[in-house]
Amino acid sequence: MSEAQRTQVAIVGAGPAGLILARLLACQGVESIVIERRDRAYVEQRLRAGVLEQTTVDLLRAAGVGERMDREGLVHEGLYLQFDGVRHRIPLRELTGGRAITVYGQHEVVKDLIAARLGGGDEIVFEADDVRVLDVDADLPTIRFKVDGDERTIRCDFVAGCDGFHGVCRSTIPAETLSVYERHYPFAWLGILARTPPSLDELIYAHHERGFALHSMRSPELTRLYVQCSPDDTLDMWPDERVWEELHLRLATRDGWTLREGPVVEKSITTMRSYVVEPMQYGRLYLAGDAAHVVPPTGAKGLNLAAADVKVLAAALVDWYRTGRRDLLDAYSATCLRRVWRVEHFSWWMTTMLHRAPGDDAFDQRLQLAQLRYVTSSRAAATMLAENYVGLEHV
């Protein structure tokens, strides 16, 4: 066993939460080590979210990692809600005083952050096995793990639990100190990446009696599409022909618009849940991102919420190192949870407005359509959607 290494903040997980936190701390002169279970290629290729809120874009720019995003990201000033075969545009920029979203894949954000960190000579330990988080209620927490069979030990002032929903950090907190709030949805998303130009220059969220569908994109050559499916479905139940058939049906409009097909280069199923753990901290361990909360993907919020958490955490840690004051750290969970619950509500609202649940009857469908008509015809209601979608200002 090698000697223990010392750092200021040990960050478990090299997803968006862990990597953005590491970057924000580095910008303020606080030292950290990032410990990641997977290898670099895996985290750089993991296809997930694609929509960055204005707030996230601003944060990445301020942290000096926005250069490629500004060059390659697609700025969208509006989105479409579709129902009854008719598309209605929500003009995001106009309704929010000039704010917009940027379509730029989560794995591209991750690549940019990893390149910046390694380029600056800071450490990310990839392929860390058997990660254990110890003594977070003492002054000097310890992280132990194995790399290539060798045991390594890191001692630190603080641990940031950025290891996603299935990570180890949350489970090191005594269960009796935590409250869990959870909802499962009786549907899932089957997502494909198709090598074909987008069929429209903005996103389409479509309500359909056969279930929800979403048209998104990754670049001028790559279209990202989702269809609602059952959480029990497996990929072999969804050959490409069936996926295209459902997408054509659910995204069809009455004006003869056509969806472009192309070779499917990726296909996966994502189940959906809402989940919040309170509080998001225990001793010197602070949870951030999916480690603390999960939203269904309909509002495109998961990655953005992770970024908002670590902005709060970085400011609190920097303040502690500068002044020795604990008040921002002590308030971390309460500060984050205000935004978390707003976003939980927005994601739940978008999800229930747009999906068809098994057992839904004509009454449920009429309520959904009434809500969709209201959101697309009342400026006040459209503004509510728009300001949540582009992201409420960070605190």
Tally the C-alpha atoms within 13 A of residue 104's C-alpha that lie toward its C-beta. 27
Q: In what order do the strands lie in the sheet with 150-155?
A: 5-6, 150-155, 142-147, 129-134
What H or E segment, with its residue span, contains residue 80? strand 79-83
Query: Which of 66, 161, 289, 391: binder of ligand FAD (CB under 6 A)?
Result: 289
Residue 41 CA: distances (Å) to CA of 60, 111, 167, 363: 22, 9, 19, 48
Contact between 297 and ligand FAD (CB under 6 A)? Answer: yes
Q: Is 389 a catalytic residue?
A: yes
Please report, as residue ranges, which positions from 162 to 201 form the binding site for ligand FAD (by CB under 6 A). Answer: 162-164, 167-168
* DSSP states of 334-383: HHHHHHHHHHHHHHHHHHHHH---TT--HHHHHHHHHHHHHHTT-HHHHH
114 binds ligand FAD (CB under 6 A): no
Q: Is 157 in the site for ligand FAD (CB under 6 A)?
A: no
Binding of residue 113 to ligand FAD (CB under 6 A): no
Active-site residue, selected from the candidate residues 205, 282, 286, 332: 205
Q: Report residue 69: phi and psi, to 5°.
A: -55, -45
- In the bound state with ligand DHB, the residue whose beta carbon lies nearer, of 223 and 335, is 223
The reply to whether 49 sits near ligand FAD by the rule CB under 6 A is yes
We find the least distance from the C-beta atom of residue 51 to ligand DHB, in angstroms, to be 5
d(CA 157, CA 139): 7
Residue 216 interacts with, from ligand DHB, ligand FAD, none (CB under 5-8 Å by kind)? ligand DHB
Known active-site residue 76: yes
Those residues whose C-beta lies under 8 Å from the C-beta of residue 12, and which sit 6 or more positions away, are 18, 35, 131, 133, 143, 159, 160, 161, 162, 163, 167, 168, 169
From the list ligand FAD, ligand DHB, none, which binds 303 (C-beta under 5 to 8 Å, kind-based)?
A: ligand FAD
Residue numbers at the binding site for ligand DHB (CB under 6 A): 49-51, 203, 214, 216, 224, 297-298, 300
- List the one residue out of 268, 263, 272 whose CA is nearest residue 190: 268
Closer residue to ligand DHB (CB): 83 or 282: 83
Q: From the candidates 107, 296, 297, 311, give the one annotated as an active-site residue.
A: 297
Please indicate whether residue 205 is annotated as part of the active site: yes
The least CB distance from residue 250 to ligand FAD, in Å, is 17
Which of ligand FAD, ligand DHB, none binds 298 (CB below 5-8 Å, type-dependent)? Answer: ligand DHB
Per CB under 6 A, contacts with ligand FAD among 128-147 are 128, 131
Query: For residue 77, what are its two tokens?
Result: 């000033």
Say whether 374 is catalytic. Answer: no
176-207 in b/e burial notation, b at 16+ Cβ within 10 A? eeeeeeeeebebbbbbbbbebebbeebbbbbb
One residue of 40, 48, 144, 342 binding ligand FAD per CB under 6 A: 48
239 as an active site residue: the answer is no
Beta carbons of 37 and 92 less than 8 angstroms apart: no
Closer residue to ligand DHB (CB): 203 or 243: 203
Catalytic positions, please? Answer: 76, 205, 297, 301, 389
Where along the sequence are the contacts to ligand FAD (CB under 6 A)?
12-18, 35-38, 43, 48-49, 106, 128, 131, 162-164, 167-168, 270, 289-290, 297, 300-303, 306
